Amino acid sequence: MKILVVGAAGNIGQAVTQLLKAEGHQVIQVGRTRGDLLMDIRDPNSLQQGFNQLGKVDAIIAAMGDVAFKPFDQLDQADWQKSIQSKLLGQIQLVQVGSQFLNAGGSITLTSGIIADVPVKDGVSAATINGALEHFVAAVANELTHQQRINIVSPTVLTESYTAYRDYFAGFSTIDADILAKTYLRSVMGRENGRTLKAFSNAGAV
């Protein structure tokens, strides 16, 4: 399969890319500043140009998106715009443009996070964005054509990132990136559609 991984340079993206290649798939690694193909998901024109250059694919995976971590009373418009433009609207635009270049029966996999389910310190922006994305996936799954599917992976904090985020996730179970990558593989190769695949520990996704 020809699979596009957006955010391939991040911890999740690297693990997903490694697993997909080990499974024998052709992986196109995408980023804003480095990768096989440069695209900025915040910019619909950049997405359109990138897909025009790439052509048809069998699967699209988004493993990226910035959100602001701040107390609610300190979040300003710039913080909200950062979260909306990158993680929320960026992934929505990726679906809108990318689905036009997705082969029949292909899949799209987005990324949210555990904060949609469990409040954390300074996590109002992240909770809002993650929750919106999960509702978007459930709704848009009914409108994709040509037997295309879409799911979203909701991970807990990565083991590899825990040191940087431990102040927000004290007491949380972590998940190793290589274990999490299997949930993305499940989304690509399975038959589930419109689902939030929750990966909250190394025990696996539900």
- pLDDT tens by residue, the chain, 206 residues: 999 999 999 999 999 999 999 999 999 999 988 999 999 999 999 999 999 999 999 999 999 888 999 999 999 999 999 999 989 999 999 999 999 999 999 999 999 999 999 999 999 999 999 999 999 999 999 999 999 999 999 999 999 999 988 999 989 999 999 999 999 999 999 999 999 999 998 987 88
Residue 80 belongs to domain with CATH number: 3.40.50.720
27 to 14, 49, 63, 66, 117: CA distances (angstroms): 11, 19, 14, 23, 31
Q: Is residue 51 part of a domain?
A: yes
Does residue 205 sit within a domain?
no
pTM, entire model: 0.95
Range of the domain at 31: 2-199
- Give dist(CA 83, CA 130) in Å, integer: 10
Residues 6+ apart with CB under 8 A from 122: 69, 70, 71, 168
Instruction: Indicate whether 204 belongs to any domain.
Output: no
Residue 28 lies in a domain: yes
Residue 179, domain member (yes or no): yes
The count of domains in the chain is: 1
**Residue type, position 42, single letter:** R
